[in-house]
Amino acid sequence: MGRKLLLIGLYLYALLFSVGRTLRLPNKWSESHWMMDYRFGFIKRGLAGEIFGWFCKKDEFSILILSAVILLLLSVFMIGIAFKETIKRENSFYRILFFLIFFLSQYIVFSAHLIGYLDHVVFLLTLAVIYLIRKNKVLPASLIATFSVFIHEISLFLMLPVSVFALFVFQNARVPFLFKSIFSKEIIRKMTLFLIFPFLAIAFISFFHEHDGTDYAGVVFNYLKGLPFIPEKVAQSVTSGYTQSFSLSFQEQHEYFIQRVFISKATIFYGIPMLFYYG
């Protein structure tokens, strides 16, 4: 019992140390995301703000409370997962070291710094999806992933690859891994079932914004600009992000894709701990 308490204390200390370095109030960019909803019609990333508006008055204080609760939930789940996985292998020094590295990593530091961002909601939903995949409930996992796409289309890059990897891992958990098993009928069936709805959602959002997305850019900008706590520059930037089509965004950003994914600092900060763990 004493060892378990010491372990929880160690993980909690590492987590609090990292969070305490950069924790702040939600910035204007993140606040503006929660103020967006479907009041002017369908819009990408509008689902989170729409649901938020059902239950709370949409103001700075409510956004602060919601953002703090989301970050707290994410932290609690991470501590719980780390503790559970460590207890499974009580003598695994490398597993304890991995989780300590993780809690001291730039991911935790930036998670606190980016409090209020919709990415945190995507991370929480990703945990739920992986849990369902582990329980062999692929269809419910797919529906949650689809829901996440309407929260933020970045789910395509943050959630889906990790979830597909989890599907491979849990499908072959009891047998030695073989490359050809990736193409087994069971894996292909589950992967298709999991991916079809999220990709249909991405296709729908992309099609909509290619044809109708920019039609209400001025309305969205005036709405955000009219909020007393959203500066005009932020309103302009967020309006562009919410109404700009995927094809135009890709044309503007594609030359930086390889650098940001494979040659960025994030590759070092996140990639090395992942390789350490799975190695």
Give residue-wise pLDDT tens across range 164-179: 888 888 876 665 656 6
- The SS3 of residue 39 is strand
* Confidence (pLDDT) at 276: 42
Single pTM value for the model: 0.83
Q: CB–CB of 167/133 below 8 Å?
A: yes
Mean pLDDT, to the nearest integer, of 203-227? 82
pLDDT at 190 over 70: yes
260 CB neighbour count, 10 Å cutoff: 12
* Confidence (pLDDT) at 154: 87
Q: Tell me the C-alpha distance between 131 and 136, whole Å.
A: 9
* Confidence (pLDDT) at 273: 43
User: Which phi and psi (to 5°) does residue 23 adopt?
Assistant: -60, 135
